[in-house]
Chains A and B, each alone.
Chain A
Amino acid sequence: MSAPGARPLIDVTLVGAGGEYMDSAVLIEWTVTPGTAVEEGQTLAVVETAKAATEVTAPAKGVLQEQLAKPGEEVGIGAVLARIATGGSAREAPLPQQFNGHDPALAAATSNTAGLHKRLPAAFASPLAKRIAREHGIDLAGLKGTGPGGRIRRADVEAQLAEKQAQPVRADAQSRAPDLTSRPAESPRPPQATEGYRRAMAAHMVRAAAIPAFTLGLEIDGAKLFEARSRIKQQGGRATLNDLIISAVARTLRNHPRVNAQWDGAGVLFNADINIGIAVATDLGLVVPVLHRTDAMDVEAIAGRMADLRVKAQSQRLSPAEISGGTFSISNLGSFGITQFTAALNPPAAAILAVPAFRSVTLFEDGRLETRKLAHFALTADHRVLDGADVARFLQDLKISIESGNVLRGE
């Protein structure tokens, strides 16, 4: 432990992600060894929650004094992971020691991943360089650009990336003992990463299965969705069918507050905002990034944000804020050609919509043969919050919304 009278110590605590069901995380690895000088915002460790791998960063500049958890260990929200001895200057000393995980503003300010995701103020870099850096978690601030006027180019980021990949073990880690961080260079993530994630996911699904749930489905004609998608493409825009469905769902939810609600133990809690979580399959497993205030976004905004979230999800760089606060979920397995399925609840949200693939179906209607693009939408609901008629009315409205196409024109 630290010597008495030495520099003040600051706790590095595990903060929550908006308070939902995340109550613990598995420590995957330490990226800094005790005794090392660290900068504010520097990554100290990687942890994995039920939702995503995320990073723990230093709340202040100083020297990493001690580590209080080992890789593979499950740690609770609010637990102290490490201590940093600070220089004792006024700027560095007073920092929140605890965080209750319910204040998004505070979460953003002290979030473990804030340092990773915040916009880098002075990075003069090409859009491509920025994208590659973002995907690989490279800090552009430390890079020297070789382009005109010092612009950071792809080559500069790739050189840095190559260097990073060639040296997965930090130089100082080799000279210090005990060494909890050393691992084979070929294995950037130890095997327990997946196990930790799976364990958390398993616990979450057991919780979901304990909820009395039921599923209702109906067929929706997607012709207007396909039309809207090609119209947007013709106008030079880009939106997937999923983006258009998200938009229609968000607008339909406005008239169905009960579907956008949750059971809080004593009664129904109606959510003020419509925040739709979208199930995304990644190499690590399922993650559900959230589009906050989805109903306030137009299709273009949804498409842009989804593209961004998908990239982040694949590279496991979603911030806690980006995976929290969901009030409704959508799972779309249409791209896999799945024609019918029901989705498991994603608590605490009371409902989840399963969207399968659209199929061309020829029907005999009003004495004529008609070809329709149909898909069997299925909504699974928490029966403590919703009854069959609630869900049926919501699905009917969603059907009208999608089939009329009004909502897809941004009306």
Chain B
Amino acid sequence: MARMRYAEALRDALRSEMLRDDKVVLYGEDIGIYGGVFKVTRDLQAEFGDLRVRDTPISEQAMTYMCVGAAISGLKPVLEIMYADFLPLTLDALINQASVLPYLWPVRVPMVIRTQGGGGSGAGAQHSKSLDALVAHIPGIKVVSPVTPADAKGMLTAAIRDPNPVVFLEHKLLYNTSGEVPDGEHVVELGKAHILREGSDVTLIANSKMVLEAEKAAEDLAKRGISAEVIDLRSLRPLDTDTIVASVKKTSRAVVINEGWRFGGFGAEVAATITEQAFEYLDAPVCRIGGFDRPIPYSQPLEAAVLPDAEKIIAGVLAMDGRAG
């Protein structure tokens, strides 16, 4: 085990997979000499050459189509989209090509789109979005969002080896977090949630950076005598409903937290699943905590006001009991 930063763990996975399989290629804006805007691909072009680590023009649409073409021709492209805010430009390639081609022709589309989203750094309305729900809506595409450096390495490895298109969501505030990461080959199966903390009174279900906020909330709730279980979804699609439902059957309460907009957000999908599969175990309505239905403000105090955090999660839990924070 080595302690490393989230960004380094991703780089470790990319490098290991490139060494293991020469079909793995990287595409993206400024990923070559510059090493990517968050330095995940630093030095990889020097090591693997500019055919395998390729800088592209500024056109997310063209880049994604190129990946689809490369993937069906036998390569395993990993595309970096600088900000998740630009995912809408990739949607035609994802919705009308990558996700459906295996259903129309005897082809596989083994590609990964790495991107980073989320707010909290004052990056403004066009560089702070969490569009998890937008991509998770598309059948045929896997969508994952690791939160720990170990999962970042293990899940990126699994994503590259997966024969399906995978959207790999990172969070800009996670790149500098650090943790223990297994040395050598480390693969984390996609589609499995992880119970980070066991509890008996309420289940907090979150993904990406919101997992850290849920853990903070659970710490605080413990001081108030409320035992919270924290589930890191890790994978939005496929969704590990078994883990979610088993936990809610145990605790009888659920709070679903996602950083994206609450309306039509991914939390709604989880909440509906719980209601369908564990209705008679619920002692209170499922509570959804999500971003306010607003563009993310540039001003950091305003940005903090619209984004979910531990405090809002705690308030949600207490409100389920009719208590005020």
Contact = CB atoms under 8 A, between A and B. Distances in A.
Given A236-B273, A236-B276, A148 B322 contact: yes
A147 B321 contact: yes
Nearest to A148: B322
Interface in A139-168: 146-149, 151, 153-154
B43 interface: no
Interface string A73-96: 000000000000000000000000
B65 interface: no
Contacts of A281: none
Contacts of B252: 126, 128, 154
Nearest to B280: A131
Interface in B83-115: none
Interface string A231-248: 000001010000000000
Interface in A300-353: none
B281 interface: yes
Given A147-B321, A154-B252, A127 B280 contact: yes
A404 B180 CA distance: 53
A127 B284 CA distance: 8
A149 B321 CA distance: 10
Contacts of A107: none
B277 interface: yes
Given A128-B252, A148-B319, A236-B241, A153 B277 contact: no
Interface in B261-305: 273, 276-277, 279-284
Contacts of A154: 252, 283
B319 A126 contact: no
Contacts of B283: 126-129, 153-154
B92 to A, nearest CB: 28
Contact of B284 (A126, A130, A238): A126
Contact of A236 (B277, B279, B284, B320): B277
A354 to B, nearest CB: 31
Classify chain A's interface size: 10 to 19
| Most chain A CB inside 10 Å of its own CB: which residue of B252, B283, B321, B322 | B283
Given A147-B321, A236-B241, A128 B273 contact: no
Nearest to B282: A127
Classify chain B's interface size: 10 to 19
Nearest to B322: A148
Interface string A213-257: 000000000000000000000001010000000000000000000
Interface string A87-128: 000000000000000000000000000000000000000111
Nearest to A147: B322
A154 B321 CA distance: 11
Contacts of B319: 148
A153 B284 CA distance: 8
A229 to B, nearest CB: 15
Q: Give the secondary structure class of B's interface.
A: helix
Given A148-B322, A236-B241, A126 B273 contact: no
A127 B241 contact: no
B281 A127 contact: yes
Contacts of B281: 127-128, 131
Nearest to B323: A148
A127 B254 CA distance: 14
A317 to B, nearest CB: 15
A127 B279 contact: yes
A147 B284 contact: yes
B256 to A, nearest CB: 17
Contacts of A127: 279-283
A154 B276 CA distance: 19
| Most chain B CB inside 10 Å of its own CB: which residue of A127, A147, A148 | A127
B54 to A, nearest CB: 39
Nearest to A157: B283
Contacts of A147: 284, 321-322
Contacts of A129: 283
Contacts of B280: 127-128, 130-131
A282 B108 CA distance: 52
| Most chain A CB inside 10 Å of its own CB: which residue of B277, B319, B322 | B322
| Most chain A CB inside 10 Å of its own CB: which residue of B252, B319, B320 | B252
A93 B321 CA distance: 46
A145 to B, nearest CB: 9
Contacts of B282: 126-128
A131 B252 CA distance: 12
Contacts of B273: 236
A238 B273 CA distance: 13
A131 B273 CA distance: 19
A127 B273 CA distance: 15
A326 B321 CA distance: 45
Contacts of A128: 252, 280-283
Interface in B204-257: 241, 252
A236 B279 CA distance: 13
7 nearest CB pairs, A to B: A148-B322, A128-B283, A126-B283, A131-B280, A154-B283, A127-B280, A127-B282
Given A127-B282, A128-B282, 5 more contacts: A126-B252, A127-B283, A129-B283, A147-B284, A151-B284
Interface of A: 126-131, 146-149, 151, 153-154, 236, 238
10 contacts: A127-B281, A127-B282, A127-B283, A129-B283, A130-B280, A148-B322, A149-B322, A151-B322, A236-B241, A236-B276
